[in-house]
Chains A and B, each alone.
Chain A
Amino acid sequence: MKDLVEFIGKSLAENPDEIRVETTDKGYETVYSLYVAPEDMGRLIGKGGRIAKAIRTVVKASAIKSGVRVHVEIDEAN
């Protein structure tokens, strides 16, 4: 699943090398934090959050397939 989030992140970013994914297991769900270069925030979030929403929808579909609960967060890398 981490692989999937990273793959989508890198494919949409102008700076794929700066894409990093961290996983936090919260018990009831797993949170994937997708860190992107500040200048790529717009490319990963989109107008009105449209791209972020599409990323979450696709990752969630894959999670249903694997029978797990996931959440994707997108944030600026420091």
Chain B
Amino acid sequence: MKSIEVVARSVDEAIAEALQELNADRDDVQIEILDEGNKGFLGILGSKQAKVRVELIEKPEANKLEAALEFTRELLSKMGISAEVQGEEDSESIKLQIDGDDLGILIGRRGQTLDSLQYIVSLAVNRQTEGEWNRIQIDVGDYRVRREESLRSLASRAASKVEKNGRRLALDAMNAAERRIIHQALQDFPGVETRSEGQDPYRRVVILPS
């Protein structure tokens, strides 16, 4: 845990200096006054400097992963599904991994149930914990990994076709995450460009010759 000690003319000054150094707000820290200090006579005679120790409190968002795991486990148990949930987080997102037998029910048609589950977990966890909004991604087995692979190969097959015959090609409707995979897969593909057309839930990627 990060903490610093600062000496200054007064307690208030010492705290202000410490907060600036830690780049923190008063609410984010715990303050211990080590020495009240003494202004002394005319600010010179017998004056003693104030000393404080300021420690950064672990912020609530650091517990978001715990909250996400706990919520997802309880949700699954209430759904009557027995599964293992594990998680990891990096600076911008939380990834949860659900494993177990017979989890097809959690994925649903074209991942619809999984997307809904992910949406609810994300709303609930971000609502219940303070701090910034964190993206929460959930995978069941290796569904998302395999889905991404198949989207990539679909994208390059379709792009080859467009590049060959010079006619635009519209893919099936997909959600935003899946469209992003297609756009990314084709951003360096020679001879074609991509754009999204239409309104959700029918919004789709169109591949055009460039």
**A58 partner, pick from B74, B113, B127, beta carbons under 8 A:** B113
Number of interface residues of B (CB under 8 A): 21
Residue pair A61, B127 in contact (C-beta under 8 Å): no
Number of interface residues of A (CB under 8 A): 20
A64 to B105 CA separation, bound complex (whole angstroms)? 8
- B117 interfacial contact with A, CB 8 Å: yes
User: How many residue pairs between the two chains, A and B, have CB atoms under 8 Å in the bound complex?
Assistant: 58
User: Whole-angstrom distance from the CB of A39 to the nearest CB of chain B?
Assistant: 14
- Considering the complex, give the chain A residue whose CB is closest to the CB of B124: A11
Chain B residues lying within 8 Å of A50, measured Cβ to Cβ, are 119
Given A8-B75, A11-B71, A64-B105, A58:B80 Cβ within 8 A: no
- Considering the complex, give the chain B residue whose CB is closest to the CB of A54: B116
**A4 partner, pick from B78, B113, B115, beta carbons under 8 A:** B78
**B113 partner, pick from A8, A51, A57, beta carbons under 8 A:** A57
- B128 interfacial contact with A, CB 8 Å: yes
Residue pair A55, B120 in contact (C-beta under 8 Å): yes
**Which residues of B (100-143) have their CB < 8 Å from a CB of A?**
105-106, 108, 112-113, 115-117, 119-120, 123-124, 127-128
- B145 interfacial contact with A, CB 8 Å: no
What does the 1/0 interface line of A1-14 toward B look like (CB < 8 Å)?
Answer: 00110011001101
Classify the interface of chain A: helix, strand, loop or mixed. helix
A8 to B78 CA separation, bound complex (whole angstroms)? 10
- B81 interfacial contact with A, CB 8 Å: yes
User: Whole-angstrom distance from the CB of B138 to the nearest CB of chain A?
Assistant: 12
A13 to B120 CA separation, bound complex (whole angstroms)? 12
A66 to B124 CA separation, bound complex (whole angstroms)? 24
**Which residues of A (1-57) have their CB < 8 Å from a CB of B?**
3-4, 7-8, 11-12, 14, 43, 50-51, 53-55, 57
User: Whole-angstrom distance from the CB of A62 to the nearest CB of chain B?
Assistant: 4
Residues of A at the B interface (CB closer than 8 Å) are: 3-4, 7-8, 11-12, 14, 43, 50-51, 53-55, 57-58, 61-62, 64-66
Residues of B at the A interface (CB closer than 8 Å) are: 71, 74-75, 78-81, 105-106, 108, 112-113, 115-117, 119-120, 123-124, 127-128
* 22 A–B pairs (Cβ distance < 8 Å), ordered by A: A7-B74, A8-B120, A11-B71, A11-B124, A11-B128, A12-B124, A14-B127, A50-B119, A54-B115, A54-B117, A54-B119, A54-B120, A57-B108, A57-B112, A57-B116, A58-B75, A58-B79, A58-B116, A61-B79, A61-B105, A62-B81, A64-B105
